[in-house]
Structures are given as C-alpha cells and as structure tokens.
Amino acid sequence: MKAVVLAAGLGTRFKSEKPKVLHEILGKPMLWYVVSTVRQGGIEDIAVVVGYRAQEVMEALGEGYAYYVQENPKGGTADAVLASIDFWRNSEGYVLIINGDSPLVSPETIRNMQRFLHMVEEYEKIRLGGVVLTSVLQDPTGYGRIIKEEGTDRILRIVEEKDATPQERNVREVNGGVYMFYIPYLLEALFKISPSEKTGELYLTDVVAYMVSRGYEVRSFMASDPTEILGVNTRWELSFAENILRLKLIKYWAQKGVTFHVPETVWIEPDVTLSKNVEIFPGVMLKGRTRVGENVVIKTGAILEDSEVEESVVIEPYSYVSGSVIRKRAKVGPYARVRENSVVGEGAEVGNFVEVKKSEIGKDVKAKHLAYIGDATVGDSSNIGAGVVTANYDGRKKHRTEIGKGAFIGSNSLLVAPLRLGNFSYVAGGSVITKDVPEGALAIERSRMRILKDRGRRLLGNHEDL
Ligand code: UD1
Ligand code: CA
C-alpha cells in the first residue's frame, strides 16, 4: 500500500508564518510524527503533498519521500489528494491518506486498519470503498461528523461542521482524518464531487457519500484510544498533543525499567534512548540523540542534549551537558556545563559551576568548583582547583592546553594557552602560567608576599571602641 500525507494547508488558526506542520512537538516537526507513524505502520512508499511554503516543508522532512505540490493551498483536502494522483493512480488495491496535522495516530492503528481491510475481503468477500478512522469524542467541535446507517459500521456520509445541521452537530463520532480508499473508486469519486458552497474547497470527506451512492461500502474503524485522532489546528492543541506524546514516551520508558519522579515535569524527545534502572528527577530535559546507560541518576533541572552518558553516572541538579560523552561513574554538577565534543572520563568529577568545552577530562580527574576548561586535555587523576581558568582565546585564535596525568593545578590559576603541563606537574595557586611546565616541576608565579607589622592598624586608624 502507498500513503499520501496532506501537508499543503495554510494552518490559518495557528496565526503563524511558519507552516503549521513544521511546528514542533518534543523537538520534531509535527509532520515528522505523521510520516514516522505511517512508516512504522508498515508503509514505506510515502508521498507528501506540500503547498504553503513548500520548499521549507520539503527541506525539513528531507529525502525519502515523493513530494507533490498542490498549486492552490485553499483547494481543500480532495484537491490535495488530486495533486498527488500520479503517485497512486496506477497502484493496486487501497491507498492510505492521512492528514499532516494528526500527529497522535499510532502505528498499530495503521496496521490494524490494513488488517481490517484484509479481514473484510477474506471473510465477507466484500471490496470496501474505504475505511475511515473515527473516534467518539466528548466534544466533537471542529471535526467532520460521521453519519452512519443506524446500528451498523456503514458510513453514509461525513458532514463538515460548517455544513452540519444542528442535529448532525450532535453526533459525537468524528472523522480522524485517516482513510484507506480503494483506488479505482477513489479516482471515480474525486472527479465527481463538487466544491463546498460555503468554502469553495473540495472536501475529501465528500468522496464517502459519492461512493455510497454508487453502492460501494465505506466503514468506520474506531481508534482504540480516542486521543489518537486529535487534529492540531491551534497552538493550544499543539501543546495538548505534545503533552500526550510526552507522557506516552515516558510511560514507554517506565515500562522498560526507568523511574520517573513527577513525570508531568519531565521532557524526553523521541530519539533519546534510556537503559534500565535509570532514575529521573523532576524538571529534567533529555534532548536530541541522547543515550543514557544503566543505573544513571539524573537530578532535577538537568538538561542533556545529543550526549552519551555511560552507566552509573550521576548528573547533579541544574547541569547542562550537550554534544559530549560522560564516562562510567563520573559525576557532573550541580550547575555544571559540559559542551561541544567534550569527554568527562571514568569516575571524574566536574562539579559546581565548572564549564568544560571541547576538552578531554581524564579518568578520576577532579574539577569540583568554579573552573573553565576549554580546548584542553586533562590527564588521568589530575586535580583542577577552584577558579582555574584555561585562557584559550587570544582575541583571534583558540589555543590548546595540555595537562598531563597526576597534575595539581592550584586554585585560581590562569593557564594561558598554548601550554603543556607535564605529568605530575604542580602549579601553585594564583599563578599566571605562560610557559610550559616540565614533568614533576613546581611552577609558581606570584609576587612575594610580605608581612608589615602593625601597618594595617595604622592604615585603618585606631578603633579602640571595637
Ligand atoms: C479535516 C476533515 C475533517 C476531520 C479533520 C480531522 C476535510 C474536509 N475535513 O478537517 O472531517 O474531522 O480533518 O482532523 O478533510 N490540507 C491540504 N490542502 C488543503 C487543505 C488541507 O494539504 O487544501 C492539509 C492540511 O495541511 C492538513 C490536512 O490537510 O494537514 C487537514 O486539513 P485541515 O484544514 O486541518 O482540515 P480540518 O478542517 O481539520
Ligand atoms: Ca485539521
């Protein structure tokens, strides 16, 4: 079966320049969810009908789809299907048509609808005109209403809200915007329906009444979860859809052995992978292609983006790790920042207000407070004192700092790159280091300290009242 995704509409109710289908849910365009669902539903051959800002939509989605342009983005959903006619007209059997603003439909539903068609053919020996995904909603406002032959699954027609009589509006079964139509009947119907008198649009939903008039049966297929059919027409519905998908993902990981504290505050994007026994505290964000190993604890407010965190790591509160690797048993934070291809070695500690950029921190290194380590390598078991700064930028270029293993960099030292500090080298606190330090050497760079007896008191005056 082939699939056609309708994504040409203007999305007027979004009040947005950006195409509605490119608005994001958990860091991915809404349309990405629709095409992923179709693909996971077992359909690989997918066309996307674009119109409004077509170029942007095609770029966002990338290769792997056939694109068709609907010239008039106000032509309506049937006009959009007609725009892709060359894609599906010569195929066998049925074609799936799905709205690009239905991101909550599940792959199982797509599979079940296909199965349903096979069952009807196999056991009832009927070739259906089509099957329509429906759901019964508490509040059906905004959706096309499903008008059925009483007591059956046979749909007689779908009435858009604008065209519905008050009685029809009371119908709570609605059209989910997912259809499988028998291609020869669809072709016939698309050329017979006429534009809506109210809007001038050609409605895909009108093919149903036409098919029925020709004696072709169209059936409803009820979504197992009524939220699946949610159409995203407003920004508020986008938030709502995001929330549903977010909780679905969290539930999925919880079932795989991840603990979530206050899951309603946790953000996990769809490409993230977690291992068992991970523990996640409130307000955590896991973004992009982040991978988290077993027994990792991620505490409140931490953000991990496109990063790999190996087993038994602890990410303390409010730390932000991006594009980096945190090796086994390391500890990051609280309030640490690790970014741009950095590696924090096994068992290392990068603590309070430490920033690490494009640097390799060795095994068991300790940098526990207030440091900036940029464009540097720090050898195993070295100690980086509070307030140490690698001055990596001379105003024009970035330079590297290389620190050997077992080194000790005293508090508040400034390491002016390019620089090499040998293994077991020692930098006395408060030094400004501008030359390489050989292995095992002590480097001290500060003016000699003097004690001037009673000079302090004289400067302050006598405070005999204290
Ligand atoms: C549509 C259905 C309605 C159903 C609802 C489910 C029709 C006429 N109505 O209504 O019965 O309950 O979806 O969510 O189909 N699009 C195009 N070209 C167009 C118009 C729309 O590609 O000319 C695309 C849009 O980008 C969107 C999808 O089709 O992704 C649905 O269009 P939309 O205008 O949102 O339809 P609804 O009014 O929600
Ligand atoms: Ca819609």
Of the listed ligands, the closest to the CA of 21 is 1
Q: What is the pLDDT of residue 272?
A: 98
Residues 275-318: pLDDT tens digits?
999 999 999 999 999 999 999 999 999 999 999 999 999 999 99
Shortest-distance atom of ligand 1 to CA 73: 23
Looking at the domain 2-229, which fold is it?
A: Spore Coat Polysaccharide Biosynthesis Protein SpsA; Chain A (3.90.550)
- The half-sphere exposure of 360 on its side-chain side, counting CA atoms within 13 A, is 10
Radius of gyration of the chain (CA): 31
Place domain 248-443 in its CATH homologous superfamily.
Hexapeptide repeat proteins (2.160.10.10)
Q: Please indicate whether residue 118 is annotated as part of the active site.
A: no
Q: What is the pLDDT of residue 462?
A: 72
Are the C-beta atoms of residues 218 and 237 closer than 8 Å to each other? no
Q: What is the pLDDT of residue 10?
A: 87
What's the rounded Cα separation, in Å, for the pair 129 and 182?
5
- In our burial notation (b when 16+ CB lie closer than 10 A, e otherwise), range 422-454 reads bbbbbbbbebebeeebeeeeebeeeeeeeeeee
Which among 99, 101, 109, 175 is the best mutation to test ligand 1's pocket, defined by most ligand atoms within 8 Å of the CB? 99
Confidence of residue 242 (pLDDT cuts 50, 70, 90): very high
Shortest-distance atom of ligand 1 to CA 233: 35
Ligand 1, residues at Cβ distance < 6 Å: 6-9, 21, 49, 51, 70, 73-77, 79-80, 99-102, 143-144, 158, 160, 174-177, 203-205, 231, 233
Shortest-distance atom of ligand 1 to CA 143: 12
Which among 12, 16, 38, 77 is the best mutation to test ligand 1's pocket, defined by most ligand atoms within 8 Å of the CB? 77
- What average pLDDT does range 248-264 have in this prediction? 98
Q: What is the pTM of this model?
A: 0.94
Q: What is the pLDDT of residue 200?
A: 93
Residues 74-125: pLDDT tens digits?
899 999 999 999 999 999 999 999 999 999 999 999 999 999 999 999 999 9
Asked whether residue 351 carries a pLDDT value surpassing 90, the answer given is: yes
**C-beta pairs of 21-25 under 8 Å, 24+ apart in sequence:** 21/57, 21/100, 21/101, 22/56, 22/57, 22/60, 23/232, 23/235, 23/238, 25/103, 25/238, 25/241, 25/242, 25/245
Shortest-distance atom of ligand 1 to CA 203: 8
Q: State in Å: Cα 102 to ligand 2 middle.
A: 7
The position carrying tokens 């056991």 is 123
The position carrying tokens 């973004």 is 287
Confidence of residue 466 (pLDDT cuts 50, 70, 90): confident
Confidence of residue 464 (pLDDT cuts 50, 70, 90): confident
Q: State in Å: Cα 245 to ligand 1 middle.
A: 21
* Other CB atoms within 10 A of residue 88 CB: 23
The whole-chain average pLDDT of the chain stands at: 97
Confidence of residue 465 (pLDDT cuts 50, 70, 90): confident
% of the chain at pLDDT higher than 70 = 100
- In our burial notation (b when 16+ CB lie closer than 10 A, e otherwise), range 325-344 reads bbbbbbbbbbbbbbbeebbb
Question: Which protein residue has the closest C-alpha to ligand 1 atom 34?
Answer: 9
Confidence of residue 461 (pLDDT cuts 50, 70, 90): confident
Give the active site residue among 23, 118, 261, 369: 369
Confidence of residue 371 (pLDDT cuts 50, 70, 90): very high
Q: What is the pLDDT of residue 11?
A: 86
Token output for 146: 């499903």
Q: What is the pLDDT of residue 369?
A: 98
- What average pLDDT does range 38-46 have in this prediction? 98
Weakest-pLDDT range from 192-201, 247-256, 304-313: 192-201
Q: Where are the domains of the chain?
A: 2-229, 248-443
